[in-house]
């Protein structure tokens, strides 16, 4: 397997003035090509430190991808530094000069002379030029002695298309194989317990590999195989995925990098031709926000009630004053009446309600911070779930949202 290092060039990155989003994009794309990213480095606009970083990276990796330092100013030295390391000659590339003049003329400006610096590119046979259709800084690829350096501009809107259209096809040929993955998202079990359940798969890291990742309130398992075709990749991934489904069953709520609990719920509602209403106290609209962030949610979701005050619970949802007086707002009785009221008022097929103590204050020995009740009303009646959540206010609220959505998911299943 080829190895890679990503070097982001720019003093502004070191000073925290901008976030290095390029590294995330490149790491994901390189990994998908079957190239193992071993290191990520950030270096300022200093020629000596840049050269040191480049020499070190080339000594320990097969592929080094640079972003930034291709601009027109004196401190933009990535191209010159790397060309020297590869013994490559840079020559003025007239077609690129003409392209830059036309590009800048489109802004109703004339091209400053220092932009000519960006048109000095590898001479024929010394490297590959990567055109830039979104800016003035072209990129390039240098190769020598089994080492490859890919130079890309810093702005993401220029870097991403240049990598996808120019560098990635070249690197795919070098790699010879690609990584194929299936991502399983699990809710209702902690990372340690989940990992222990499939400990043999995690420890036997051959092909494919299994890696767990903890996220807020859920666990993600990425199954990854190196293969020469999508068909071979799926053949390798399928048995491991089947084992995971046997182990975790309906705790697996979705597959895919971009999958969310809310997205799964919306899709299930659509498939079952059901509608949903929500009634929220401690989450203050977070459940409704999660649902409406999913495109097409309006087909299945029409009513969301935020009943933070007891008066709102009474007046909007019909929670009985006697219930609130006898059991309090945070109780299974109140959660049940909130859910039943939301279903009745909205006419939805399913209604979910939450009431709890998110903190940091408001808790008592009998009802501590993190105590939450979820109420669910459907054609099968009303039931409640008690949660004892830990963490700060936002963590309690976030986990409440996930548990409420999971209750809806399980009702639909």
Q: Could you identify the residue written with the tokens 């003093």?
A: 11
Mean pLDDT taken over the chain: 94
Q: CB within 8 A of 208, min separation 6: which ones?
A: 223, 224, 225, 226, 236, 237, 240
For residue 141, the domain's CATH number is 3.40.980.10
Both 197 and 83 in one domain: the answer is no
Q: What is the pLDDT of residues 297-333, one digit of tens each?
A: 999 999 999 999 999 999 999 999 999 999 999 999 9
* One domain for residues 406 and 267: yes
Answer yes or no: are the C-beta atoms of 349 and 379 closer than 8 Å: yes
Top-confidence residue, 99 or 280: 280
Q: Residue 396 — very low, low, confident or very high, per pLDDT cuts 50/70/90?
A: very high
Domain edge (last residue) among 233, 255, 277: 255
Q: Does one domain contain both 151 and 184?
A: no
The pLDDT value recorded for residue 253 is 98
Both 130 and 244 in one domain: the answer is no
Distance CA(180)–CA(226), nearest Å, equals 6
What's the CA gap between 269 and 285, in Å, rounded?
20
Give the pLDDT score at 106: 72
d(CA 194, CA 388): 20
Q: Which domain holds residue 375?
A: 262-412
* Joined tokens for residue 229: 């075709």
Q: List phi, psi (to 5°) of 322.
A: -65, -35
Q: What is the pLDDT of residue 254?
A: 97
Helix (H) or strand (E) holding 52: helix 47-60
Distance of alpha carbon 132 from alpha carbon 152, whole angstroms: 9
Same domain, 171 and 183: no
pLDDT greater at residue 281 or residue 98: 281
Considering the domain architecture, whether residues 134 and 190 belong to the same structural domain is answered as no
Question: pLDDT at position 204, please?
Answer: 76
Alpha-carbon dihedral 343, 347, 349, 353, rounded to 10 degrees: -20
Instruction: Locate 328 and state its tokens.
Output: 């309090």
Sheet strand arrangement including 3-9: 36-43, 3-9, 63-67, 147-152, 139-144, 128-130
> Model confidence at 3, in pLDDT bands (50, 70, 90)?
very high
Count of domains for the chain:
3
CA 284 vs. chain centroid, Å, equals 25
Tell me how far CA of residue 268 lies from CA of 203, 265, 286, 406, 412, in angstroms: 35, 5, 20, 12, 7
- CA–CA dist 18, 181 (Å, integer): 31
**For residues 166-185, average pLDDT:** 92
Please list the residues that pair with 176 across neighbouring strands: none
Are the C-beta atoms of 142 and 148 separated by less than 8 Å?
Answer: yes
Question: What is the CB neighbour count within 10 angstroms for residue 293?
Answer: 12
Nearest 5 degrees, angle CA 372-CA 373-CA 377? 150
Residues 283 and 203 reside in one and the same domain? no
Residue 96 vs residue 370, higher pLDDT: 370
Cα(218)–Cα(251) distance, integer angstroms: 10
User: Tens digits of per-residue pLDDT, 83-138?
Assistant: 999 999 999 999 888 887 887 777 767 777 778 899 999 999 999 999 998 888 99
Co-location of 47 and 165 in the same domain: yes
d(CA 251, CA 39): 34
Give the mean pLDDT of 61-70: 97
Range name among 42-46, 147-151, 166-170, 206-210 with the lowest pLDDT average: 206-210
Give the CA distances from residue 134 to residues 102, 127, 137, 138, in Å, rounded to whole numbers and listed in that order: 12, 21, 9, 10
Last residue of a domain, one of 229, 255, 281: 255
Measured distance CA(371)–CA(349) in Å, rounded: 27
CATH code assigned at 250: 3.30.70.2860
User: What pLDDT digit, counting tens, does each position of 215-224 carry?
Assistant: 888 999 999 9
If asked whether residues 101 and 207 sit together in one domain, one would say no
Last residue of a domain, one of 234, 255, 276: 255
Q: Tokens at residue 336, please?
A: 């049940």
- pLDDT value for 114: 77
Identify the pLDDT of residue 108: 67
Q: Based on the fold, state whether residues 228 and 366 are members of the same structural domain.
A: no
pLDDT in the model for residue 111: 75
List the end-to-end C-alpha distance of the chain, in Å, as a whole number.
Answer: 42
pLDDT in tens, 11-23: 999 999 999 999 9
Same domain, 29 and 153: yes
> How large a percentage of the chain has pLDDT more than 70?
100
**How far does CA 152 lie from the centroid of its chain?**
23
Q: What is the pLDDT of residue 97?
A: 86
In the predicted model, what is the mean pLDDT of residues 371-383? 97
Give the β-pairing of 371-378 and 350-356. Answer: antiparallel
**279 plus 247 within the same structural domain:** no
* Per-residue model confidence as pLDDT tens digits over 282-303: 999 999 999 999 999 999 999 9
Predicted pLDDT at 40? 98
């Amino acid at each position: 397997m080829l190895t890679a290092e990503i070097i982001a060039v720019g003093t502004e990155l070191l000073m925290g003035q901008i976030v290095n989003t390029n590294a995330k994009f490149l790491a994901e794309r390189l990994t998908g090509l079957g190239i193992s990213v071993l290191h990520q480095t950030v270096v300022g606009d200093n020629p000596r430190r840049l050269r040191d970083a480049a020499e070190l990276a080339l000594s320990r990796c097969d592929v080094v991808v640079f972003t930034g330092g291709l601009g027109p100013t004196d401190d933009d030295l990535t191209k010159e530094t790397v060309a020297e390391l590869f013994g490559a000659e840079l020559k003025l590339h007239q077609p690129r000069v003409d392209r830059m003049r036309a590009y800048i003329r489109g802004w109703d400006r004339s091209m400053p002379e220092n932009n000519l610096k960006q048109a000095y590119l590898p001479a024929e046979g010394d490297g590959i030029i990567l055109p830039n259709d979104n800016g003035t800084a072209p990129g390039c690829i240098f190769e020598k002695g089994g080492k490859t350096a890919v130079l890309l501009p810093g702005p993401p809107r220029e870097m991403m298309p240049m990598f996808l259209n120019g560098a990635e096809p070249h690197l795919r040929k070098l790699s010879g194989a690609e990584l194929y993955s299936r991502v399983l998202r699990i809710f209702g079990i902690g990372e340690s317990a989940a990992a222990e359940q499939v400990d043999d798969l995690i420890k036997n890291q051959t092909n494919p590999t299994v890696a767990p990742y903890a996220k807020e309130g859920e666990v993600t398992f990425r199954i990854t195989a190196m293969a020469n075709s999508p068909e071979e990749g799926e053949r390798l991934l399928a048995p491991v995925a089947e084992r995971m489904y046997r182990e975790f069953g309906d705790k697996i709520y979705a597959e895919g990098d971009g999958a969310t609990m809310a997205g799964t719920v919306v899709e299930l509602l659509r498939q079952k031709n059901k509608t949903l209403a929500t009634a929220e106290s401690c989450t203050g609209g977070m459940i409704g926000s999660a649902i409406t962030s999913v495109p097409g949610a309006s087909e299945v979701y029409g009513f969301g009630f935020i009943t933070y005050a007891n008066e709102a619970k009474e007046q909007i949802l019909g929670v009985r004053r006697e219930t609130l007086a006898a059991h309090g707002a945070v109780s299974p009785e109140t959660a049940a009446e909130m859910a039943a009221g939301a279903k009745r008022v909205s006419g939805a097929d399913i209604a979910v309600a939450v009431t709890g103590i998110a903190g940091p204050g408001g808790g008592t020995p009998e009802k501590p911070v993190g105590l939450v009740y979820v109420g669910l009303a459907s054609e099968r009646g009303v039931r409640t779930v008690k949660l004892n959540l830990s963490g700060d206010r936002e963590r309690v609220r976030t986990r409440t949202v996930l548990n409420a959505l999971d209750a809806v998911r399980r009702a639909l299943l």
